[in-house]
Structures are given as C-alpha cells and as structure tokens.
C-alpha cells in the first residue's frame, strides 16, 4: 500500500511499511521491548548475532515473529571486513533473510564506522547477493561510494551510537540526500522526537533508532512519540516549508486607519 504521498519505501526490492526502523538493543526485558515495538508501529527491526546461550535461547526472534516484524540482522561488534562478512553470512543462514545492516566500527570509544573496512565489506556482501544497508559516517563522498558498489540504502549517523546528540551536521545529511539514488536512513544519534522529525524534514526516507526509545524512562511512550515525529517530519518535508526570511512578515492585514 502506497502512503498518502504515493511513495512506498522500498529497499532493495523489500517494501518497508513503516519509516521508523527500530533496534532492539538496550531494552530492560522482552516485555518492555514488545510494548515499545508495538507503539512504534515499526515493520523492520534490527537484531545482533551472538553465541547462543541456553538461558536466552531465541527469545527476541520469537517475539519479532509473533509481532509480524521483519528482522534486520546487523554486524555490530565487527571491526574488520572479514568479521563483518562472516557475521552477515551466519545471519543469512540463521534468519533466512538477505538483508543486512552492515556495521564495521573503528573503536569502542566512538563506535564510528571504519570507512575503509566498511566499503570493502559492502562490496563483498553485494557480490554475495546481500541487500546491504551500511551504517556509515555522515560523509557524502563515502555515501556515494557505498551506493556505487551496490548498497541498497545508505544509513548515515546523526551522531555516535547511543549519544542522543541529535543530528550534528544537518548540511551533510542534506547533501547525502541530494545525491543519493537509494533510500537514506538516518541511523544513530537520535535522542528525542524533534530530532527524528528533523531527519525526515532534511529528506531522509526513514529513521533507525534504538537507544532513544529503549533507554527512555518510558520506552512505550517514547516509541509512540517517535512514530508521530517520523510521520510529522515526512509530511512537513512533502508539504514544502516556507523560505526563511530575515525580517518579519505580517500574517494579518494592516489595520484600517
């Protein structure tokens, strides 16, 4: 079903029903996560790949299946292209999806993407038939190169993962949007609803967030706020905002003398 502007979000042939993509990290337990996911209205949600543990089992996967939410495995924790490629292949095998959120970070302190390893991994995974959604720096040149090697979307950060600092370089995000021929997903850094709305107003096609919701005092309520914010930002973008002016312009007629 097309949205009210007649445009569906399609990433590599996958139709994404909601422009709010959620992460599952940081929730205190699965019950809180479930309420937040439902309130967010999301249809696509990330998971990480880790060693199976008898106590946790496949709980998060069972939850997403029950809610009918598609799974987007990530390669979180990978520092090299080789690690990320192996993790993506394991995710495809375990979860039977060709979608992957490609993360290759340079260090634990910043969790910023390592551009060299990221581009290398992206190229290998595209060649291997994956639908690659790379978590990238807010660098228009790197975003262009990721698109050139065949990524199905680009996902620039607003600020480092988990910081809640919002969109530190809106102009770079606008430049990425202006150049991109694939969907742009603002990924990481969102702290509150106005920042999710801003991402959409800048022209992003979707927002991906986790911490802002899962670590909020009331995750369910924040998830609802984010849903409204993404919808509002998207609507505003398509409504065409007024130009900024230096001096005031009266909106009422002049008084009669």
Q: Which residues have a catalytic role annotated?
A: 101
> Does position 74 bind other proteins by CB under 8 A?
yes
Distant-in-sequence, close-in-space partners of 35: CB < 8 Å, separation ≥ 6:
219, 220, 223
- What is the signed CA dihedral for 39, 54, 215, 83, rounded to 10 degrees? -100
Residue 24, SS3 per DSSP: coil
- Which residue, among 154, 152, 145, 143, has the nearest Cα to 125 in the 3D structure? 152
- Token pair in block for residue 177: 């949007």
Among 41, 73, 140, 166, binds other proteins (CB under 8 A): 73
Measured from the CB atom, the residue of 123 and 187 that comes closer to other proteins is: 187
Nearer to other proteins, 95 or 118 (CB): 95
Q: Are 167 and 195 in contact (CB under 8 A)?
A: yes
Q: Is 213 helix (H, G, I), strand (E, B) or coil?
A: helix
- Binds other proteins (CB under 8 A): choice among 5, 90, 127, 239: 90
Is the Cβ–Cβ distance between 114 and 79 less than 8 Å?
Answer: yes
Q: What 3-state DSSP class applies to 77?
A: coil
Q: Does 248 bind other proteins (CB under 8 A)?
A: no
- What does the chain come to in residues? 257
Of positions 37, 70, 78, 95, contacts other proteins by CB under 8 A = 95
Please state, in angstroms and as integers, the Cα–Cα distance from residue 98 to each residue in 17, 120, 129, following that order: 18, 18, 7
Alpha helices in 151-218 (DSSP H): 170-179, 193-201, 211-214
Q: How far is the CB of 21 from other proteins (least distance, A)?
A: 10
Task: Classify 113 as helix, strand or coil.
Answer: strand
- CA dist 212 and 18 (Å) reads 18
- The answer to the question of residue 19 lying near other proteins (CB under 8 A) is no
Nearer to other proteins, 97 or 192 (CB): 97
* Per-residue binding letters, 20-39, with other proteins (x by CB under 8 A): ---xxxxx-----x------
In angstroms, give the least distance from the CB of 63 to other proteins: 9
153 scored as a contact of other proteins (CB under 8 A): no
- 56 forms part of the interface with other proteins (CB under 8 A): yes
Number of residues lying near other proteins (CB under 8 A): 37
Q: Reduced to 3 states, what is the DSSP secondary structure of residue 28?
A: coil
49 makes contact with other proteins (CB under 8 A): yes
127 binds other proteins per the rule CB under 8 A = no
Minimum distance of other proteins from residue 195's CB (angstroms): 18
11 is an interface residue for other proteins by CB under 8 A: no
**CB-nearer residue toward other proteins: 71 or 225:** 71
Contact residues: other proteins, CB under 8 A: 23-27, 33, 46-52, 54, 56-58, 60-62, 71-74, 76, 86-87, 89-95, 101, 103, 210
């Amino acid at each position: 079903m097309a949205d009210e502007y007649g445009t569906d979000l399609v990433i590599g042939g996958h139709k994404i029903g909601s422009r709010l993509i959620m992460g599952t990290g940081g929730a205190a337990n699965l019950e809180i996560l479930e309420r937040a996911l439902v309130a967010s209205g999301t249809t696509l949600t990330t998971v990480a790949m880790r060693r199976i543990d008898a106590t946790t089992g496949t709980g998060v996967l069972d939850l997403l299946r029950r809610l009918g939410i598609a799974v987007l495995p990530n390669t979180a924790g990978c520092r090299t292209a080789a690690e990320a490629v192996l993790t993506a292949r394991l995710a495809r095998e375990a979860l039977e999806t060709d979608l992957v959120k490609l993360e290759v970070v340079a260090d634990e302190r910043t969790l910023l993407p390592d551009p060299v390893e990221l581009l290398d991994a992206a190229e290998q995974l595209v060649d291997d038939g994956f639908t690659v959604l790379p978590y990238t720096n807010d660098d228009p040149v790197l975003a262009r190169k990721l698109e050139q090697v065949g990524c199905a979307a680009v996902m620039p950060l607003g600020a480092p993962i988990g910081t809640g600092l919002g969109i530190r370089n809106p102009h770079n995000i606008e430049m990425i949007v202006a150049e991109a021929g694939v969907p742009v997903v603002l990924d990481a850094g969102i702290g509150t609803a106005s920042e999710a709305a801003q991402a959409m107003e800048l022209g992003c096609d979707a927002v991906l967030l986790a911490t802002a919701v899962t670590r909020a005092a009331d995750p369910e309520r924040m998830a609802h706020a984010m849903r409204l914010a993404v919808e509002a930002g998207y609507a505003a973008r398509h409504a065409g905002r007024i130009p900024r002016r230096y001096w005031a312009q009266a909106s009422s007629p002049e008084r009669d003398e």
